[in-house]
Amino acid sequence: MARKRRPAARPEEILDAALAVFTEMGFAGARVEDIATRAGLSKGAVYVYFDSKHAILTALVRRLADRVIGAAEALVEAGAAVSAEQTLRSLLGFIAVQMSDPKISAAPRLVIAESQRFPEIGAMYRDVVLARVRRLIARILEKGIAQGAFRDVAPEVLLRLCGGPIVAHMFLTTVFADPDAPGPAPDVIAKGIADMVLNGLKVRQETAT
Amino acid sequence: MARKRRPAARPEEILDAALAVFTEMGFAGARVEDIATRAGLSKGAVYVYFDSKHAILTALVRRLADRVIGAAEALVEAGAAVSAEQTLRSLLGFIAVQMSDPKISAAPRLVIAESQRFPEIGAMYRDVVLARVRRLIARILEKGIAQGAFRDVAPEVLLRLCGGPIVAHMFLTTVFADPDAPGPAPDVIAKGIADMVLNGLKVRQETAT
DNA sequence: AATATTAATGACTCATGGGTCATTAATATC
DNA sequence: GATATTAATGACCCATGAGTCATTAATATT
């Protein structure tokens, strides 16, 4: 076989290939050789760069999550000027749109699937990703309460109320997708969720601040 | 080996054993022999009652989901007399408590984990379980709107807003549980979620119906 | 008691795929 | 151009575990 020597580029290429293969076949269904072939390498070469199949998964999840969370943090940072409500709306919209991309939602899906067998990966996701999400939510909430715009709810509740619907939407459009009944577009859902998170379900006389 | 012949009881026993083993090791990590041993049988006997490892999983998920959904339907049925808000609160509380039991949340977790490789199981869950949840939510919503108590939101949005936080809570207390920082109790979370789903996050002058 | 039926066994087959390593080919160094 | 270094190969090993099936033991039937 023809050989190329480009060590610097390899890890990224392998992770790209791994994302594609994992997304198609799931972690258990993916063969390391599939990943290697897709990356234009032999199986042995993969083991030059990663210790095990799981090390590939871990690195992949880290990379995927880091990108999205980094962007989300920048977005909240940039929202320092505007109202807490507006920041929360943009954040929800951003995450909802991101998570509607199967290439990106693959990360949490893989983590959830594999953490049964390998709890470390669940712990890693919690410490690396969820901790940062918690911080974002807490910051927006504090600001909103300080401004008198938000009720004083527990951050853990708000985390579940904001993250949950997005995760639910992600599952409903990937794992539980019905080819015959396509669901609503992500931005429509994002707006619907944001409206409800902010205004609630009950009918009221509009006398908000 | 000593042998007992009790064909009628076997399938249930195998499913009980399968739940325990799947919960501990995940689907891929579980061996059919583990399940057999736990059920007090040999591996061969399992194949008398189930065609494959996957058939066991499918039957198990069906059974688990059916119980919970059946109870939820009864609860909504019983709530015909009370207000839509009250029915929604009971339903959220019931599901949240149920889903905080790892033996029960194992069903959706397994489905999500395996449907990457075996899309049929995702489709089954959608058609058998989620369809019924959709119907419950739609019924409560219609009633609430008819009574003038609820805003006229899309059922798909309400489904995500009610189901999502519960699912999120379930993941946060199973897959992403932090042994050092135990989360809030399920009923506390359920109430917090219900309050927010109904009232929203924004501060308002209380002038509700 | 003899015979038929079927629940249950457990040793077996066989495909699979993760991981290894001696070898080879491409680059770097002198 | 010779030598050293290391990226990459691919044949190989080996544990694993799903599923099979001839056999055996427990009940049912006569």
Please identify every stretch of chain B with a pLDDT value under 50, giving residue numbers as ranges.
207-209
A130 assigned to some structural domain: yes
Distance CA B93, CA B103 (A): 18
Residues B42, B95: one domain? no
**Tens of pLDDT, residues A139-180:** 999 999 999 999 999 999 999 999 999 999 999 999 999 999
Residues B20, B62: one domain? no
Residues of B with Cβ-Cβ distance to A204 under 8 angstroms? 204, 207-209
- 3-state class (DSSP) for residue B175: coil
**Of B34, B50, B66, at which residue does a domain stop?**
B50
Distance CA B72, CA B64 (A): 13
pLDDT bracket for residue A26 (50, 70, 90): confident
A174 CA to chain B: closest CA distance, Å? Answer: 9
**Tens of pLDDT, residues A134-149:** 999 999 999 999 999 9
Closest chain A residue by Cα to residue B196? A200
Distance in Å, residue A54 CA to nucleotide C19 C1': 12
pLDDT computed for residue A209 by the predictor = 46
Residues A41, A95: one domain? no
Query: Which region holds residue B42: left if phi is over 0, alpha if psi is between -120 and 50, else beta?
Result: beta
A176 CA to chain B: closest CA distance, Å? Answer: 5
pLDDT computed for residue B208 by the predictor = 46
CATH number at residue A41: 1.10.10.60
Residues A179, A106: one domain? yes
For residue A6, pLDDT beyond 80? no
Q: Which of B142, B201, B207 to mutate to test the interface with A (most CBs of A within 10 A)?
A: B201
In terms of average pLDDT, the best of A15-19, A76-80, A97-101 is A15-19
Residues B13, B114: one domain? no
H/E stretch holding A123: helix A119-125
A136 assigned to some structural domain: yes
Beta-bridged to residue B150, according to DSSP, are A202
B205 assigned to some structural domain: no
Residues B86, B120: one domain? yes
Beta-bridged to residue B202, according to DSSP, are A150
Residues A24, A101: one domain? no
Distance in Å, residue B33 CA to nucleotide C18 C1': 22
Q: How many residues does chain B have?
A: 209
Name all protein residues with C-beta less than 7 A from any atom of nucleic acid chain D: A 1, 3-7, 10, 36, 40-45, 47-48; B 2-5, 29-33, 43-44, 47, 52-54
Helix, strand, coil shares of chain A, percent, nearest 5, are 75, 0, 25
pLDDT bracket for residue A208 (50, 70, 90): very low
CA dihedral A133, B177, A15, A102 (to 10 degrees): -70
Residues B74, B96: one domain? yes
Residues B182, B82: one domain? yes
B2 assigned to some structural domain: no
B209 assigned to some structural domain: no
Contact call for residues A141 and B195 (beta carbons, < 8 A): no
Residues of A with Cβ-Cβ distance to B34 under 8 angstroms? none
Residues B92, B156: one domain? yes
**Tens of pLDDT, residues A38-70:** 999 999 999 999 999 999 999 999 999 999 999
Please give the tally of structural domains in chain B: 2
Range of the domain at A37: 1-50
CATH number at residue B179: 1.10.357.10
A202 Cβ within 7 A of any nucleic strand C atom: no
Using C1' positions and the CA of B51, the closest nucleotide is: D19
**Tens of pLDDT, residues A190-200:** 999 999 999 87
A205 assigned to some structural domain: no
Residues A106, A195: one domain? yes
Tracing tokens 């049964």 back to the chain, one arrives at A116
| Core vs surface per residue B149-179: b (16+ CB within 10 A) or e | bbbebeebbbbbbbbbbbbbbbbbbbbbbee
B37 Cβ within 7 A of any nucleic strand C atom: no
Residues A89, A127: one domain? yes
